[in-house]
Structure 1
Amino acid sequence: MSTQSPPPSRRRRLALPVVLAGSVASLILALGLSPTVAAFTARIENTVNTAGSGTLIMQESDSTGNVICESTDSSSNSATCSTINKYGGTLTMTPGQTVTTSISIKNIGTASASSFTLTPGSCTQSANGTPTGSATDMCSKMTLVVTSGSTTIYSGSLSAFASGVDILSKLGTTSVAPSATVPFSFAVTLPSGLGNAYAGLQVSQPLTWNSSAGS
């Protein structure tokens, strides 16, 4: 038995979907293989972005520039130094005599000191040999003048030197920059006119330098 072929019009109707399907597939394939369409672009990449804290270190030197003490001599950055006697350490003063001691404080850290103060402790007197004078107000008689350059930081008796002094305010500045040095001079005077009641006595007073950075 022979098989009849479909009429030409039917063959055309059957072939059209096949052709369309093939065309669509070819188009999808062609688009998939096409390069990306170019566009305007801009870019900034910041590769180094760091932050860290600075250091504040105080260094004390004598009048010849020899470094005597640094705050880092203590692990807490708060050292106790007794090498430089700010009041001179002379125990043979006579009435009318002045003893002057010069030192300097330097900021050897990396941060600026936004505050800088000198704070005294209580002045006390004690015996210094025999005979010992009977006076009990030696701290009120002994005077002190502290200067930095031409600026007076303090002037008065040792007993009146009882509260901290804002050094930056006295100097008319707002900070001590890294590597900056601030000079100081301490002049202690035993006033003229004192009699035997003040012989054989000595005074002592601790002093503390404080600085800070930040707020």
Structure 2
Amino acid sequence: MSLSPVPAARAPRRRLTLVALLTGVLGVVVLALSMNSSLAAFTASITNSVNTAAAGTVIMEEKNAAGTTTCLSTDGSGNNVTNNAATCATINKYGGSTTMVPGQTVSTTVTIKNVGTAPAASFTLAPGTCTQSGAVTGSATDLCAKLGVVITQTVGATTTTISPASSTLTTLAAGGALTLTSPVAAGASATFTFAVTLASAAGNTYQGLAASQPLVWTFTS
């Protein structure tokens, strides 16, 4: 028995069926890829929009007890934070009295403040050499050694003596810089009192004499 040949008309239909099948499969793949590419995901992020750095300042302010006179480390023509070292001749720590008699004490109080934005890690007071002047009638040459000085520092409610015991203006200079309470935070201050006494043993040869001594306050960051 012989097999009958497949009618020629069936071949195109099979090819059409295969093409349709492939087209359907391709459509499914494209749709799947399209859906996958449009799927959302959970995300989280932080943007740091402000990231800056800047140098602070350490600026010293000195005021007299009445608060009527102010000196800044930036004072003076052409002076600024580049130099940051001023000369203040308007606040006399030793009182400036010209009427002292033997045994008398003159006290002067000043306040030193850090008006900058950065803390001062160390704080010192360096006395310079004491010099004598004037000779209305006096002939003595050692007035600096006859002027005793006691320096106290007050921070908050605590007062301490920072000058060595039995200091005179002569020995104060010889002892070098005094280390003061530190650090000094921005905006913080300390009060200092200078008590200067003319020795009770000073006789007539000391009349009319004067003594002068520079004092240098220093903040260091």
Give how far 1:111 is off. Answer: 1.8
Mapping 1:95-106, distance limit 5 Å? 95-106=102-113
Q: Which residue of 2 aligns with 1:124?
A: 131
Residues in 1 aligned to 2:29 and 2:64: alpha-carbon distance in whole angstroms: 88
Does residue 189 in structure 1 map to residue 197 in structure 2?
Answer: yes
Which residue of 1 is the match for residue 211 of structure 2? Answer: 203
Partner residue of 1:29?
A: 30
Structure 1: unaligned runs, 5 residues or longer: 1-5, 169-173
Say which of 150, 157, 160 aligns to 1:151: 160
The answer to whether residue 8 in structure 2 is matched with residue 7 in structure 1 is yes
How far the C-alpha of 1:182 sits from its partner, in A, is 0.8
Q: Distance in 1 between matches of 2:28 and 2:86?
A: 83
- Per the TM alignment, residue 152 of structure 1 is displaced from its structure 2 partner at its CA by 0.5
Q: Secondary structure at the match of 1:43?
A: coil
**Deviation at 1:154?**
0.7
Shift of 1:200: 2.9
State the number of aligned residues: 201
Query: TM-score, normalized by length of structure 1?
Result: 0.81
Deviation at 1:101, TM superposition (A): 0.9
Find the residue that maps to 1:26 and give its secondary structure: helix
Query: Residue type of the partner of 2:186?
Result: P
Of the structure 1 ranges 6-15 and 89-98, higher mean CA displacement relative to structure 2 is found in 6-15
List runs of 5+ in structure 2 lacking aligned partners. 1-6
TM-score, length of structure 2 as denominator length: 0.79
- For 2:17 and 2:55, the matched residues in 1 are separated by 78
Q: Aligned partners of 1:132, 1:117: CA distance in 2, in Å?
A: 35
Q: Are the equivalent residues in 2 in contact too, given 1:59–1:67 (CA < 8 A)? A: no
- 1:61 and 1:187 map into 2 onto residues whose CA distance is 17
User: Equivalent residue for 2:4?
Assistant: none
Question: Which residue identity lines up with residue 153 of structure 1 in the other structure?
Answer: I
**For residue 86 of structure 1, what is the amino acid of its counterpart?**
K
Taking every aligned residue pair, what percent have the same amino acid on both sides? 47
Supply the distance in 1 between the matched residues of 2:150 and 2:66 (Cα, whole angstroms): 21
Q: Deviations over 1:123-150 (max 9, x none)?
A: 1112x142231x3222222111111233
Matched residue type, 1:132 = G
How far apart are residue 45 of structure 1 and its match?
A: 2.9
Superposition CA RMSD, Å: 2.3
